[in-house]
Amino acid sequence: MWYLEFLWKQSYWKIAVDVKATLESSQALFWWQDGQWHLQAGYGIAADYVKLFSDAPVSKGKPLKVFLKLLQEQIQQDLEGLLARLSQEDKPLPRLMVRVGEALPLFFEPHARFILGQGDVHLLRVDRDGITDAVEDRLGNPLVLPDQTWLLLYGYTREEAEALLKAVSALDLEEVFYDWDTLEVQGNRVLGPILLDRVSGACFDVYRRLVTYVSRAV
């Protein structure tokens, strides 16, 4: 009997979003500021934006966010001039800031960690032992959800994200797919849960609710 049970036993695995690869494949970053929508386009733009929050030292043992704080006044008052000066420098840090471009002021907003992006969504297959593999076709090419809108609550735990979404009546909406499983495969560096559109525009709606909520709380 045990042989038949083994023979017909269904393999256990589940699918989760590969947030890191999804950020790297992003094509657009959207944000709400000064009463209107903004857009910064470019391959990997969301991954570049996330690097602004890194604690890794970039110069003199200090992380990038320390330097951004020193440049806050220039970023908020003369962004065009600052980007023009940075574009003349051929170093990794200035190049990163130029790529982030008009999204730099978002870093100082209370909703800075609500990352609304668009691009291919990469997937991971997770077995019962927590071992992950990229979801690929027989030729080894990534199988992705093409050109999707998504919302990453960057750095949030599940408990924090659920409390926030509940506060804006955006928890368990039928129009949204909530990927909590991705938190299990992110290792020591928690990127956060990610939401995907089930219905076009759903992530934009949740984003606006969150922005309004945290803005009122400041």
Would you say 22 and 121 are in contact if contact means Cβ atoms under 8 Å apart?
Answer: yes
pLDDT digits (tens, 9 = 90+) for 63-73: 999 999 999 99
User: Phi and psi for 177 in degrees, rounded to 5?
Assistant: -100, 125
Would you say 153 and 190 are in contact if contact means Cβ atoms under 8 Å apart?
Answer: no
pLDDT digits (tens, 9 = 90+) for 104-134: 999 999 999 999 999 999 999 887 777 788 8
Instruction: Decide the pairing of beta strands 36-41 and 26-33.
Output: antiparallel
For residues 53 and 21, give the distance between their C-alpha atoms in angstroms, rounded to a whole number: 17
Would you say 23 and 16 are in contact if contact means Cβ atoms under 8 Å apart?
Answer: no
What is the pTM assigned to this prediction?
0.90
Q: What's residue 157's pLDDT?
A: 95
Q: What's residue 149's pLDDT?
A: 98
pLDDT digits (tens, 9 = 90+) for 70-111: 999 999 999 999 999 999 999 999 999 999 999 999 999 999
Listed in order, strand segments (DSSP E) in the chain are 13-17, 26-33, 36-41, 57-59, 62-63, 114-127, 132-134, 144-153, 176-179, 194-197
For residues 78 and 92, give the distance between their C-alpha atoms in angstroms, rounded to a whole number: 21
For residues 41 and 211, give the distance between their C-alpha atoms in angstroms, rounded to a whole number: 21
pLDDT digits (tens, 9 = 90+) for 33-50: 988 999 999 999 999 999
**Higher-pLDDT residue of 217, 2:** 217
- C-alpha of 23 from chain center: 6
Would you say 39 and 103 are in contact if contact means Cβ atoms under 8 Å apart?
Answer: no
Residue 24, both tokens: 């790297």
Would you say 165 and 157 are in contact if contact means Cβ atoms under 8 Å apart?
Answer: no
